Amino acid sequence: MKGETEGFILAAQDQALFTRNFLANVIKNGADPLCRFCRKFNEDIDHLISGCPVLAKTEYKKRHDKVGQYIHWKLCKQFELPCANKWYQHETEPVVENEKATILWDFDVHTDKTIKANRPDIIVKDYENRTCFLIDMSNPSDNNVSVKEIEKLSKYKDLEIEITKMWRIKAVTVPVIIGALGVINKNVEKHIRKLPCTLNIQEMQKITLMGTAQILRKTLSN
């Protein structure tokens, strides 16, 4: 990571960037503290990087999908499925499969019982080990990392049960939660060790931080 980007991220972690809330309540220059995009909440760092409903549809999704792109690439390499030489050149196809595994990207699972949470980010059917991994990612504010982990594990419990019955393989939920400013829960390593591929936590943190830096630069210059 370039020194300029690292310094920018450190300033964000220290809440020392010129958001509207900072201008209004710290510098007290009479600025309007409301978010320039949604106009509903005060515009502080946490709001811009993970809490704005307007940015969620575009900027947050791009950052989220970059982390998913890396995980998908590592899985494809592990199961000898088609993939690019570098993760950032990799195309996440909706379905890729061979005799070893099937990998589904952003795919609805149709079950006999109606389940609302039926679309984890990545589904991996590992035929050799008779296991199905439900991988779901999130980049919340650093304060909500632990809460998001518990939420993901609870959210897909019903889908785990249905998949185990339908496909007759063990289903396991794997939450991958990286805070928007880099914080991780102590359980992240335990969760990703369940996967058949080896993920680099530092690489996923870097991808997340680069995405956050891009979001902040775009929004604060608007």
What pLDDT, in 10s, does the model give residues 92-101? Answer: 999 999 999 9
pLDDT value for 1: 86
Average pLDDT on 166-178 reads: 97
- Categorize the per-residue pLDDT at 115 as very low, low, confident or very high, splitting at 50, 70 and 90: very high
Task: Show contacts of 148-155: CB within 8 Å, 24+ apart.
Answer: 148/175, 148/177, 149/175, 149/177, 149/185, 149/187, 149/191, 152/177, 155/117
Q: Is the pLDDT of residue 82 over 90?
A: yes
Q: What are phi and psi of 78, to 5 degrees?
A: -65, -40
Given this model, what pLDDT does residue 112 score?
86
Q: Residue 14: which pLDDT band, with cuts at 50, 70 and 90?
A: very high
Provide mean pLDDT across the span 205-214.
98
Average pLDDT over residues 189-196: 97
| Phi, psi values for residue 156, rounded to 5° | -105, 10
| Percent of the chain with pLDDT strictly greater than 70 | 100
Supply the mean pLDDT for the chain. Answer: 96
* pLDDT of amino acid 123: 98
